Structure 1
Amino acid sequence: MAEQAEDGMVAAFRTNPERENELAPEQIQQPTRPAYQWVDITDEFTRACSELRLGELLRDSSFSLFEAMSAIEMMDPKMDAGMLCNQTKRKVLNFDQSIQAGSVKIKDLTYPELIGIMDATLACLVTWLEGHSLAQTVFTNLYLHNPYIIEDRYLKAFCICMLKIVDIIRDRVNRAGAFEEEDFQPVTYGFKMAAETSDVRAIGMMKEVEEELNRIIKNTRSKPGTQRDSDTELEHNLSVAVYNRIKFYRMFLTVLMSFSKEKCEGIPQAQRLLTQLIELVPAMTSELDLGIQAEGGGVTKTDYPTIMGFESLVNQRLLPPTFPRYTMIKSRKEALYYMEHQLLRRLQTVTFITEITSLHNMLEVFTEFSKTCPCVLSRSLLQLLFLPFSKKLFGIYSIVDSLKESIRNFIAPVALFPKSNLYSNPQAKEYVDAFLNKAVRPICTIFQITGHNRARQREKWTHILEELAALQEEADKVDSYLHNQLIKTEPTKVHLACFGTWVLYHTLYVMINYTLAGLELELYAPYEYHYIFWYLHEMLYAWMVSTLIRADSFLMEHEAQNDQQVKGRNNRKNKKKKRTKTLSREITLNQGHQQLFGGYHKALMGFQLDGRMKQAKFEFDNEEVRYSHRFAPFVHFVTPPMVHYSRYKEMNDPAKYNYERASTEMYGLACKHFHQAKTFYENIPNPNEEIQNLIKIAKTNFVVMKLLLSGHKKDSSEAPEFDFNSEKKVFRVGILASWVEKLFCFYSNWPDLLHLLEVATF
């Protein structure tokens, strides 16, 4: 090693003529050798290690766990992915070698072979969309390595179409930038994506073979008065199966191209084609058995059986040296289910976003779409549809104009209405425009964060909070200036905290999502729930309700002023004018959420007083450290102010409840909270499935608190169960995290609970 280093030093000097002139020749040719003094530390190291107790770890600052886990030993089968090729007993052949060996056909493929290849390729595509590499999924199909040498027209058209689909998906996901390394692997490993053929020509090739298959289907169809033989019937069924698949892939490619059109011009076509694609899936599912199936040995860590044209290890040496990652290709049935429910139906939802004109409502839809845990492709297409590269909403509307309209509909500030003197004031207009331009980035970032996977969103919410804190300061300055200008010309009107209230709403939205994400990801320990629920009840939702009520009062005041002007003019045409849409539904929903979390907090307080909650045994930190860590991102804000741990303890001092019936009182307060939550939810007109689930939660927990209030299992020290589990996924409206709609009950195997639920009345 030392000799190599010395040779490298000499070579480095010789490649630089200027340095050669600085040094004498003998210095270049005979560099000074370092004098090493090696010492054997084996015994000393062993003795030092023996002094460590079980579980202790000695770590040097220059070699952390990150470096330790990043170290890869080359040529080690357990660490080097490329070594998997040496563990299989069969010879791995590439496309050309397989053709020469006769194991792969490029012409005269039978219908079952075509069906099997198309279905297996779809399974590989779906596996790629779930985060695996192209080399280990799609490009295990050897036909995709060079489709131009394929002589079979059906297979050639399909392979080129599939490459186009992969290329468009990769491009769309890359452009949206809403993926993480665990979501998507865009690396192509040098494979060509049929660039010689245009997208339009690829669709044309699919249409040509589709028409040819259609003629075969017509010729083999049973005719009145005649009976088909078994061979003709089988040919008909097989040709229909191939036809359905050719049509499916052709329409899927067209849908992806439709999403790429400017100004959302392709959305009507995409909606029509998505409906047809969903209708095709059941037929394709029923035809899965018609294709050839994999035969051979069972699944191992290095290999799995495949059909003709597929080689699981053909690209293994293209992978970077890393820990071997076994790729489990989805079954064909699972792939079709994924396409229908995880992709096509989600894309249908994406197309409806263009019908929403308000940014406020749009954010609600984005949030609910994120809760369904959509795939990376549907998330990316939604982001690109909403804000394409033109930096205009849907490629049409100015973001600043959309923000103005959103603020008008939210709080109706005087400065944004043409009839106001502020609107025509050049300096006031300059202040407002400057504020709106600064608001573009953080508001758009909020939309973009909803496009990331649920696990990554929590970290991203913390970053946007810093930008919102700065925007809030700017909003306060603008509001103050506009108010001072307004009272000079229109003393009866005010402009107090209009823009600030709008920013505060989005700040609270982010804070709530950040806090609930910790519950969704199960980051909080049960002994932390009490201050998490308290903060949600006493601070975040309390501020949210107050903010919405303030904004709603501004809307009502603005409408009243307009009505007064109409009466003064006695204009009959305006008597039927559209009423201003208020925020009453959102206010009621958030009031219900606030009461629900209030019930959770009081219930936990009762459990603690009864000794039913396990107390934490802190060794390296304490409750104050954990509390400060959980709410650290909120420190930068003046509004709402951060409630520090000392203040929280003052408001929840256990000494206040040091009396005999303290826990009973807590259960009683929890009952009231759950009853109020249920009342708020029931007052929401046209309740959707989420609200109905929340009503059930409030009722259930009300009954449980009633049981505890009556002294049921008073002497039991059994810890309560927190049930966050539900397999039911619904499309929700609102800003409450998905986990809370699931049955959250404080009970432990009480046999009479179900009976009480049936007869419980409020």
Structure 2
Amino acid sequence: MQHYSPPPPHVTHPGVVAREITDKFASAVKKLEPGELVKDENFTLFEAVSALEIMDPKMDSGFLAEGESLDEEYDVSRDLLPEEILGIIDQLLCLETLLTSVYVEAILNPTPTEITEADFTRDPELRDKQPKLLFILRAYCVGLLKACHFVNELVKAEHYYEVSIRRSGRVLDSRSADLTNEVPVDISTALDIRLELRIALLRAIDLMSMGNVNADSLKTPWIQMRVLLDHFDKQHSIAKAVPEAFSTKLQRRLASTMPPRPIVQTSFEETTSHFKQLFQDGIDITDVLKYSDPQSLLTFVATFQARKPQPLVFIRSLLQTLLIKDRVVLGTYDARQIIDQDLALTVLPWGKQIDPSYVNVEVPSDPRHQIAAQMANFRARVTEPYLDIFRIFCQNRCRVRRTLCHSIHEWDMLQAEVEEIDLLLQVTLDERPLTTDRGDLGYRLPLSSWAYLYKLRQMEWIVQLGFELAIYQPDELAGMYWYLNYLAKTRAQHGDRIKAFTSRALSQERQAGGYTAARDREYMHSLSYIRATMLDAACTWEFADGLCCLYTTLQRLGLVRPFGPQPRPYSDDERRYRIRTRPFVAIALPQLPMFDEFTRAVSQPETGIPDLLKYAGSAIAGARKGYEALAKLPDQQAFCVRSGDRWRADVNGCQKAAIAAGVAVTQLAKAFDVAAGIVDGGEGELAAEGEESLDVGLRVEFPEPGKGYHDWWIVPRLIPTSSEKKST
């Protein structure tokens, strides 16, 4: 092959001499061993990649065309028409960013130290000569900067600092009231509404920072913003765009500037729709302050975070701030109050362990003092893990699952530690074990039972979010639904155990003197929760069991195959099982099944396809009836106060998924019977070569993520194929 020597580059810049180094570079490279890396501590990977991208206009944001200036040549003191100011403001609203606006850059560079310096020019003489209407744009930019700053601080620290929010608001107020008569009324109204929107947003952030504010007061600025936004679409037509007021060159000041980031062009209609959802979310999160009980609070947070489209991180950060700030819950309650109410609701109605009067007993030998001391140790240990559950559900869905995988290990250790406290309290309270017709249930152990219940719920959430986030391959669905069934069955059994001890305590209270209406309400409230959680666990148990049988049948018939190449070159069933169950390996209870046990439970080799489908149909029908009963529960008994609509929509989605799954089972059973009859000449017996050889004339389609009836229940669609009818 003839050696190719590229021509020297054409360099027009004076003072630059081009030199050919290709041969020298090739000679130096030949001296390196294969795979050898040359590392220079003063030449980092970032710089190496940057060097490769130098002078590439698609990758080098510092690349300048012939005659192009490095800085943006735009006069921020130029006179603007009122409709041009409106156009710039609307474009800023579409971007909601500080990276591409020439006017925002002029305010920030150099960084102002006080509000009076936040202007397009720092020279007092030039400032006095600015066009009069620029103060409107300046006021809007100041409001935008303030809002972005506090949103950034909120997201980073989950709280914000008391600085000049109110002062910024006064600047906006004074400017919005100073529109002159020379501006047409329609444009003047449009500009005023946009400034009012910025004022309302700053006021909303200001109220959030105060703490212990009435929910209706917090809701007011969000409602105002939603009303103001309704006028934007009608007024946008009179705005005139000024594209030269925005430039990608401003992004060169970022820490990472490669590749060049284009200015995102968002339609105004899409922007207003986005902000309407933002303001509606802001209205909705204020209802979290209307507290009723801990389980309703958890339902509120979980269902709000799961809504679609998912609330922005700003809104979720606001929710987290309202929930927990400086270890104060909802701005009013101490963490101890919430934990004690949760214990009373789930495992300890009217329990001596959470009697607040015991704290006042100071005699060390008094059992009440000993109980209070042990419960103080318990609360000190569980407060952070307990509050973290609420914090976790303020993250995005992927982060929720990832954090729960760490949280269950914390709760596993917590369960073991609080069991020791249970044993100490058991001696102090002189508790007795419980024996029923089902056998010996042992001691009550309420604190560790409470921790175990929360751990089981988190383990279920991890598996369910795996379905929602499309983590599992199609041929893994049967196994993961079996494991979900295993966890839900364990939770139902644990709920039954808690119910037995609560019923015994209720019977003892009624037999003893002093049983009051208040005690009866607390016991009935606790039993309502136990019934609701057992019904929820039973629905999950039955539905997961039915889908496991359905997918096992589809795999036997060869209708479910994994994505990607076959066979899989780097994995087998056991390795995939280890990967999927890695978060649960170290959990003591419930113990993770061994792979052989798991495989046998999922495949059910001793059960024929007709029996599998029969059991699947029965289990799914039971789940459908259970969801129907759940949906009919009032908010107080379903523990979804303030979030009943969202919770009920979720349950209805599960019910619809169960109906669709029942239809799929029936369709597959009929197709299987037809195929079996065809094979044996219409007698309905299977072919000698077995069930797996049958062609049922169906193919399987899976709904796209987020397109099914419910994200946690992946119901396949069975579609007849052209091979359904065969010649005999």
What TM-score bracket applies, with the shorter chain setting the length? 0.7 to 0.9
* Aligned counterpart, 1:446: 389
Alpha-carbon distance, 1:324 to partner: 4.0
> Which amino acid letter does the alignment assign opposite residue 335 of structure 2?
I
* 1:167-182 paired onto structure 2 within 5 Å: 167-176=149-158
Q: Is the 8 A contact 1:81 1:316 kept in 2?
A: no
* Aligned counterpart, 1:691: 651
> Which amino acid letter does the alignment assign opposite residue 248 of structure 2?
S
Instruction: Report how many residues are paired.
Output: 623
Alpha-carbon distance, 1:507 to partner: 0.8
CA distance in 2, matches of 1:405, 1:71: 59
2:166 alignment partner, one of 190, 200, 217: 200
Q: Is the 8 A contact 1:599 1:669 kept in 2?
A: yes
CA distance in 2, matches of 1:728, 1:704: 14
Alpha-carbon distance, 1:415 to partner: 3.7
Alpha-carbon distance, 1:314 to partner: 2.2
> Which amino acid letter does the alignment assign opposite residue 447 of structure 2?
F
**1:479 and 2:461 matched:** no
> Which amino acid letter does the alignment assign opposite residue 209 of structure 1?
R
Alpha-carbon distance, 1:739 to partner: 1.0
> Which amino acid letter does the alignment assign opposite residue 138 of structure 2?
K
> Which amino acid letter does the alignment assign opposite residue 454 of structure 1?
R
CA distance in 2, matches of 1:572, 1:593: 35
- Aligned residue for 1:710, secondary structure, equals helix
Q: Is the 8 A contact 1:114 1:155 kept in 2?
A: yes
Alpha-carbon distance, 1:310 to partner: 2.4
* Aligned counterpart, 1:135: 99
* Aligned counterpart, 1:589: 536
* Aligned counterpart, 2:235: 287
* Aligned counterpart, 1:613: 560
Alpha-carbon distance, 1:491 to partner: 11
* Aligned counterpart, 1:518: 466
Decide which moves more: 569-578 or 331-340: 569-578
Alpha-carbon distance, 1:627 to partner: 0.5
CA distance in 2, matches of 1:355, 1:520: 30
**1:370 and 2:305 matched:** yes
Alpha-carbon distance, 1:463 to partner: 1.6
CA distance in 1, matches of 2:357, 2:541: 37
Q: Is the 8 A contact 1:611 1:717 kept in 2?
A: no
> Which amino acid letter does the alignment assign opposite residue 387 of structure 2?
C
**1:435 and 2:378 matched:** yes
* 1:59-74 paired onto structure 2 within 5 Å: 72-74=49-51
* Aligned counterpart, 1:240: 189
* Aligned counterpart, 1:546: 493
Alpha-carbon distance, 1:42 to partner: 3.0
Q: Is the 8 A contact 2:354 2:375 kept in 1?
A: no
> Which amino acid letter does the alignment assign opposite residue 85 of structure 2?
L
**1:406 and 2:331 matched:** no
Alpha-carbon distance, 1:516 to partner: 2.0
Alpha-carbon distance, 1:459 to partner: 2.2
Q: Is the 8 A contact 2:698 2:721 kept in 1?
A: no
Q: Is the 8 A contact 2:215 2:290 kept in 1?
A: no
- Aligned residue for 1:522, secondary structure, equals coil
Seen in structure 2, the aligned counterparts of structure 1 residues 569 and 459 have a Cα distance that, compared at 3 Å, is closer
* Aligned counterpart, 1:631: 581
Q: Deviations over 1:610-631 (max 9, x none)?
A: 2222276243231111111211
- Aligned residue for 1:117, secondary structure, equals helix
> Which amino acid letter does the alignment assign opposite residue 675 of structure 1?
A
> Which amino acid letter does the alignment assign opposite residue 620 of structure 1?
Y
1:312 alignment partner, one of 229, 248, 252: 248
* Aligned counterpart, 1:12: none
Alpha-carbon distance, 1:460 to partner: 1.7
CA distance in 1, matches of 2:176, 2:708: 39
CA distance in 1, matches of 2:54, 2:580: 42
* Aligned counterpart, 2:594: 644
- Aligned residue for 1:315, secondary structure, equals helix
Q: Is the 8 A contact 2:385 2:411 kept in 1?
A: yes
CA distance in 1, matches of 2:408, 2:29: 51
Q: Is the 8 A contact 1:137 1:329 kept in 2?
A: no
Alpha-carbon distance, 1:560 to partner: 4.5
CA distance in 2, matches of 1:445, 1:138: 42
CA distance in 2, matches of 1:391, 1:427: 25
Q: Deviations over 1:447-484 (max 9, x none)?
A: 22222222223222222122111101012212222223
- Aligned residue for 1:720, secondary structure, equals strand
CA distance in 2, matches of 1:495, 1:421: 23
Alpha-carbon distance, 1:381 to partner: 0.8
Q: Deviations over 1:646-685 (max 9, x none)?
A: 221343455424xxxx112211111111100111011125
Alpha-carbon distance, 1:363 to partner: 1.8
> Which amino acid letter does the alignment assign opposite residue 580 of structure 1?
H
CA distance in 1, matches of 2:629, 2:67: 68
1:250 alignment partner, one of 199, 204, 207: 199
Q: Is the 8 A contact 2:340 2:354 kept in 1?
A: no
* Aligned counterpart, 2:409: 466
Q: Is the 8 A contact 1:634 1:642 kept in 2?
A: yes
Q: Deviations over 1:39-93 (max 9, x none)?
A: 9673996xx7xxxxxxxxx899x99xxx989962337248899832425578457
Q: Is the 8 A contact 1:442 1:464 kept in 2?
A: yes
Alpha-carbon distance, 1:593 to partner: 1.9
2:718 alignment partner, one of 747, 751, 757: 747
CA distance in 2, matches of 1:465, 1:542: 18
- Aligned residue for 2:620, secondary structure, equals helix
CA distance in 2, matches of 1:251, 1:728: 38
CA distance in 2, matches of 1:634, 1:643: 10
Q: Is the 8 A contact 2:107 2:120 kept in 1?
A: no
> Which amino acid letter does the alignment assign opposite residue 600 of structure 1?
L
* Aligned counterpart, 1:42: 30
Q: Is the 8 A contact 2:208 2:322 kept in 1?
A: yes
* Aligned counterpart, 2:276: 340
* Aligned counterpart, 1:270: 218
- Aligned residue for 2:399, secondary structure, equals helix
Seen in structure 2, the aligned counterparts of structure 1 residues 719 and 552 have a Cα distance that, compared at 3 Å, is same
Seen in structure 2, the aligned counterparts of structure 1 residues 651 and 139 have a Cα distance that, compared at 3 Å, is farther
CA distance in 1, matches of 2:36, 2:592: 36
State the Cα RMSD in Å.
Answer: 3.9
* Aligned counterpart, 1:531: 479
Alpha-carbon distance, 1:113 to partner: 1.8
- Aligned residue for 1:319, secondary structure, equals coil
Q: Deviations over 1:691-748 (max 9, x none)?
A: 222222211221221122123574236542222444599xxxxxxxx6126x723412
Q: Is the 8 A contact 2:671 2:697 kept in 1?
A: no
* Aligned counterpart, 2:146: 164
Q: Is the 8 A contact 1:81 1:320 kept in 2?
A: no
**1:84 and 2:61 matched:** yes
Seen in structure 2, the aligned counterparts of structure 1 residues 86 and 266 have a Cα distance that, compared at 3 Å, is farther
* Aligned counterpart, 1:115: 86
Q: Is the 8 A contact 2:434 2:443 kept in 1?
A: no
Q: What 5-or-longer segments of structure 1 have no aligned partner?
A: 1-37, 49-57, 129-133, 178-185, 187-192, 217-231, 295-305, 730-737, 752-762
> Which amino acid letter does the alignment assign opposite residue 355 of structure 1?
K
Q: Is the 8 A contact 2:251 2:257 kept in 1?
A: no
**1:709 and 2:669 matched:** yes
CA distance in 2, matches of 1:148, 1:44: 56
* Aligned counterpart, 1:664: 610
CA distance in 1, matches of 2:279, 2:518: 46
* 1:573-584 paired onto structure 2 within 5 Å: 579-581=524-526, 582-583=528-529, 584=531
Decide which moves more: 716-725 or 589-598: 716-725
When the two structures are superposed, what TM-score results if normalisation uses the length of structure 1?
Answer: 0.73
Seen in structure 2, the aligned counterparts of structure 1 residues 540 and 456 have a Cα distance that, compared at 3 Å, is same
CA distance in 2, matches of 1:623, 1:577: 49
When the two structures are superposed, what TM-score results if normalisation uses the length of structure 2?
Answer: 0.76
Decide which moves more: 376-385 or 604-613: 604-613
